[in-house]
Chain A
Amino acid sequence: MHVPDGFINAPVSAAAGALAAAAVAVSLRAARRELDERAAPLAGLVAAFVFAVQMLNFPVAAGTSGHLLGGALAAILVGPFTGVLCLTVVLLLQAVLFADGGLTALGVNITVMAVVTTAVAHPLFRGLVKVLPRGRRPATAAAFTAALVSVPAAAAAFTLLYAVGGTTDVAFGKVATAMVGVHVLIGIGEAAITALTVGAVLAVRPDLVHGARGLTAPVKLRVGGALVDAPAPAPAAAPAPARPRRALWATGLVISLVLAGCVSYYASSEPDGLEKVAADQGFDAKEREHATGGSPLADYGVDDIADARLSGGLAGVIGVGATVAAGTAVLWTVRRRRVSAAGSAGAVADPAGAVPGSAGAVPGRAGAAPGPAGAATTTPAPGSSAPPPSAPASSRTTPSAPAPTGAAPSGAAQSGTSPPGPAPASERAESV
């Protein structure tokens, strides 16, 4: 599905590039906020995972096999913004290193395969998880649905781009039928694999599934034989839902705008195809008349491609513009409000909210392995900038505040009141 150079004309490629850049910029900001300075290593490793899992072949039948595209999977596992970043990096490196997908078509590829899949899959998954009963099987079913819808949605987005800026005038209906038809099949495979993978992760580390936050049971501590609610994560978890809900709302708005553009285009182009099939005789003559200057026989089917495409193009461009404007405005206001409120514990609660299960698991785990010096699994920091290892970090706990000494103060940091936490977070939010 990687689009090569020359497939989409230059202006539309540039527009898609601008759209992709805007989406990546928003994701960068949001991922920074969600993951703090963990963003780079975590997103990098998840990108490596996506890259690797795309090489994992799933045999279909009779010697053919397919592989995962990974858009919906990444969005569900690590969240929409980090997911977009991971997929963007994978696509960027595939274009630059492996010549897979053209350099000028990079914007198109990112828009279609990273942004659209994520923007469709994640709200759908979250919505289904909210609606369906809690549990692993409903969450797996939600993952199946989200992935199933995301792939044809990406194909539809590509078709739209192709209708606006394709270099060959294939009838819109044909492209749409072929692309969406093929990708529904691909989507079924993608959905099955995604659902199975999400189910496997949910079974082992449900806290790692970003999209299924809130599904894990609250951590209980056994104190003197009686089960007691774990005290620390409760205040941290309370402010967390406010922001995801708002982000979800914003994403939903963006989706609805995009879909509105799509659907209106379909609505205007669909009768064309039908009427064309009906009035098949003399088609060529009409076509030529139209080419010479527009026939006044202007019923819907004869004013054929050019007008439909033009209106579709306009609708697409306006829709995209409105989408970008609305999305940016909403995210901007959300960010502003959050920055102004960053003095409170909300800023610290964010990273904890991003991985609430792990945050919830920390108190339990800290009892098991709090020793900062005893960790054998420390991976040396890559890069020449790292000094020789002097302070090995305990590997299993997850400090959410940027504590300079690693794991030792993580218990305090989790409570959301540690002083070094909020200040750098808000500074970073302003400086980025």
Chain B
Amino acid sequence: MGAGHVHRLYRHGPSPVHALPPHAKLTAILGFVVVVVSTPREAVWAFAAYALLLAAVAYAARVPAAFLLRRLLIEAPFVGFALLLPFVAEGERAHVLGLSLSESGLWGAWNVLAKGTLGVAASVLLAATTELRALLLGLQRLGLPPLLVQIASFMVRYGDVVTDEMRRMRIARASRGFEARGVRHWGVLAKSAGALFIRSYERGERVHLAMVSRGYTGSLPVLDEVTATRAQWTYALTLPATALAVCLLGWTL
């Protein structure tokens, strides 16, 4: 637990975006992504406008572009899939550079790439400007069932502990000369996973008993109720509102 309670994606900073209440930010990002997904893919300029909007948010949040771009790499597997689409999709074929590509496949690839990238960028911005605890409070405020929020907060709280236990087991294996090279070594790794499960489960039982001994009856009291003022809501919802305007323009033009 000594690793601190800030996740790797979070970038602390004194920006107005950081100061926004989490549920307002979550609503704004979710609204933005929904708007992006429902934009027609032929309106190419609309996606450029969305990217500009996100860039403006990143600037306001003082998130450096390099950080944002590096985090976008998580999308890489699906880029591969998207690049495959023009070759396998149906419909009219277009001939580009001697390759026979499907037009609808090209549109589909563009669609997946543009919307996926914007979605990932929006999520990265949200994670970069919101602390984990605040994120969970925001989710709870937005009506996620309390039990689910509790499970999520326990997972977040003990994620590092469990990961650390796994790291220690890896070091223990390595220090005994073990090196996983192929399928033959799966048994050893699976035994580690089994041991990890038993330790996690038993830790869960211990945590539960410790909590019961302190009066836990199944629900955690909400100590810091997050609230948002009208001005904060307005500020946060500027993003999806602008995006919605762009989207409507995209449908009409």
Contact = CB atoms under 8 A, between A and B. Distances in A.
Contacts of A228: none
Given A37-B216, A102-B119, A428-B218, 14 more contacts: A6-B111, A10-B38, A42-B208, A43-B151, A44-B154, A49-B201, A85-B147, A92-B148, A99-B71, A102-B33, A196-B187, A208-B201, A381-B216, A393-B210
A384 B35 CA distance: 38
Nearest to B72: A99
Contacts of A78: 201
B150 A40 contact: yes
Contacts of A96: 26, 123, 126-127, 135, 139
Interface in B180-204: 180-183, 185-187, 189-198, 200-201, 203-204
B37 interface: yes
B7 A48 contact: no
A329 interface: no
B219 to A, nearest CB: 8
B194 A45 contact: no
A86 B200 CA distance: 13
A387 B155 contact: no
Contacts of B108: 167-170
B237 interface: no
Contacts of B139: 92, 96
B213 A393 contact: yes
B114 interface: yes
A9 B112 CA distance: 10
Interface stretch (A218-226, A314-322, A395-403): A395-403
Contact of A192 (B115, B186, B192, B204): B186
A19 interface: no
B89 A168 contact: yes
B19 interface: no
B115 A5 contact: yes
Contacts of A389: 210, 214
Interface of B: 7, 9, 26, 29-30, 33-34, 36-38, 41, 71, 74-75, 78, 85, 88-91, 104-105, 107-109, 111-112, 114-116, 118-120, 122-124, 126-127, 132, 135, 139, 145, 147-148, 150-159, 161-163, 165-166, 180-183, 185-187, 189-198, 200-201, 203-218, 220-221, 223
Contact of A58 (B34, B150, B186): B186
A56 B85 CA distance: 31
Contact of A193 (B26, B127, B161, B190): B190
Contacts of B223: 384-385
A407 interface: yes
Contact of B111 (A40, A89, A167): A167
A227 to B, nearest CB: 27
Nearest to B185: A59
B190 A85 contact: no
A381 B123 CA distance: 31
Interface in A79-118: 85-86, 88-90, 92-93, 95-100, 102-105
Contacts of B180: 57-59
Given A5-B116, A46-B204, A174-B88, A37 B217 contact: yes
A68 B201 CA distance: 18
Given A56-B189, A97-B127, A169 B197 contact: no
Interface in A369-411: 377-387, 389-395, 398-399, 402-407
A36 interface: yes
Contact of B200 (A48, A59, A287, A386): A48
Contacts of A53: 166, 193, 196-197
Nearest to B138: A96
Nearest to B154: A44
A7 interface: yes
Contacts of B33: 5, 102-104
Contacts of B111: 6, 167-168
A201 interface: yes
Given A28-B147, A97-B9, A99-B71, A49 B197 contact: yes
